[in-house]
């Protein structure tokens, strides 16, 4: 009788593990820190942008996370308006939008993603001087207002 109870006690957890593994989805397989990594790559800081850009250059290292790296860059707006290279900023913005939408938490993060976009654009403009910087910042402001309103 003692053996039967022990076998039953051992079989129940094993069955639970098999059941859990059998019903796991791709989302369940993503590392538990996916939301934390996504957050770290969508902040307004230069270091957040640099970390995201390094990961983007080595996407295969992050494959287990199932991130959506696709981009249409600046959508229907020019990627490099007036020669200002905004395409990487637009790609990071797309990354934030697409991945937070996939996680179902987009509305809670949209404002920060848009602010990070604007900070990225301003960092591009910081590389210019005088009237060119002013024109770049004005263009950055226009792009930011567009994503705030229509993004």
pLDDT per residue as tens digits for the range 61-84: 999 999 999 999 999 999 999 999
Which CATH number covers residue 77?
1.20.90.10
Number of domains in the chain: 1
Rounded to 5°, angle at Cα 143 from 109 and 101? 25
User: Residue 112 belongs to what domain range?
Assistant: 28-150
pLDDT per residue as tens digits for the range 9-35: 444 443 333 333 334 444 456 899 999
Distance between terminal CA atoms of the chain?
Answer: 67
In a domain, 91, yes or no: yes
Q: Please count the residues of the chain.
A: 151
Average pLDDT over residues 122-129: 98
Question: Active-site residue 2, yes or no?
Answer: no
**Annotated catalytic residue: which of 2, 49, 93, 109?**
93
């Amino acid at each position: 009788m003692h053996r039967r109870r022990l076998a039953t006690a051992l079989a129940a957890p094993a069955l639970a593990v098999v059941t859990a593994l059998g019903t796991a989805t791709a989302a369940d397989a993503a590392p538990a820190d996916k939301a934390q990594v996504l957050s770290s790559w969508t902040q307004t800081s230069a270091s957040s942008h640099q970390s995201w850009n390094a990961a983007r250059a080595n996407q295969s290292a992050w494959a287990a996370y199932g991130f959506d790296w696709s981009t249409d860059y600046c959508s229907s707006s020019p990627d490099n308006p007036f020669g200002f290279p905004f395409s990487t900023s637009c790609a990071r913005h797309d990354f934030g939008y697409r991945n937070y939408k996939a996680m179902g938490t987009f509305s809670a993060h949209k404002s920060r993603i848009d602010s990070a976009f604007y900070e990225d654009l301003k960092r591009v403009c910081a590389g210019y001087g005088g009237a060119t910087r002013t024109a770049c910042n004005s263009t950055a402001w226009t792009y930011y207002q567009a994503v705030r309103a229509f993004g």
